[in-house]
Amino acid sequence: MRYAREPDAIIAARGSNTFQTVYSCKADLATDIVDLAGMHHVKTGFHGAPSHSPISMAAQAHMNAWAPNFGIQEYLVLGTPECDAMFPSEHMMRGGMFFVSDAPGLGVDFDEREATKYEYAPSSHPIVRLEDGTLWNY
């Protein structure tokens, strides 16, 4: 089994043989970009930041399982009891390998009733903006 790739991504060159997702777009465009990269012997290397949800990680997992030029996947460590209760899934990480569930869709669900137990507080990365609100390349 192989890892997945964020299906909503525009890719930017990074290094000589991997690339990284930098912004969001359509899944069919991402597959086109993966194909284009493969024609130039470029492997995928997708971002799995803690701000991504288990749903996004499942989409990445399916994309990487498909990608013939899969390279590496940054893995968001999931599996906390709260996360497992809110996003039930059969995806699993074992022995350094990510196993993609064959359940319908992305293979991960969302329990809305469980989600009501947690308060949502919008926030942003503390160093992405200057004190005056100006975007900053940190």
* pLDDT score, position 13: 38
For residue 43, what is the enclosing H or E element?
strand 43-46
Q: How does pLDDT run across 78-133, given as a tens digit for each residue?
A: 678 888 899 998 888 888 888 888 899 889 899 999 999 999 887 766 667 778 87
**Higher-scoring residue by pLDDT: 50, 59:** 59
Helix ranges, the chain (H)? 27-39, 54-66, 81-86, 112-115
d(CA 118, CA 53): 15
Tell me the average pLDDT across 34-41: 91
Q: Judge residue 68's burial from the number of C-beta atoms within 10 Å of its C-beta, 0-12 exposed, 13-18 middle, 19 or more buried.
A: exposed
Which pTM does this prediction carry? 0.65
- Give residue-wise pLDDT tens across range 3-26: 334 433 333 333 434 444 434 445
Domains contained in the chain, CATH given = 10-115 (3.20.20.120)
More confident residue, 28 or 9: 28
Q: What is the sign, positive or negative, of the torsion defined by CA atoms of 31, 32, 37, 38?
A: positive
Angle at 124 between CA 120 and CA 130, to 5 degrees: 155
Residue 51: its pLDDT value, please?
65
| Strand pairing category for 18-23 and 43-46 | parallel
What mean pLDDT do residues 45-65 have?
Answer: 79
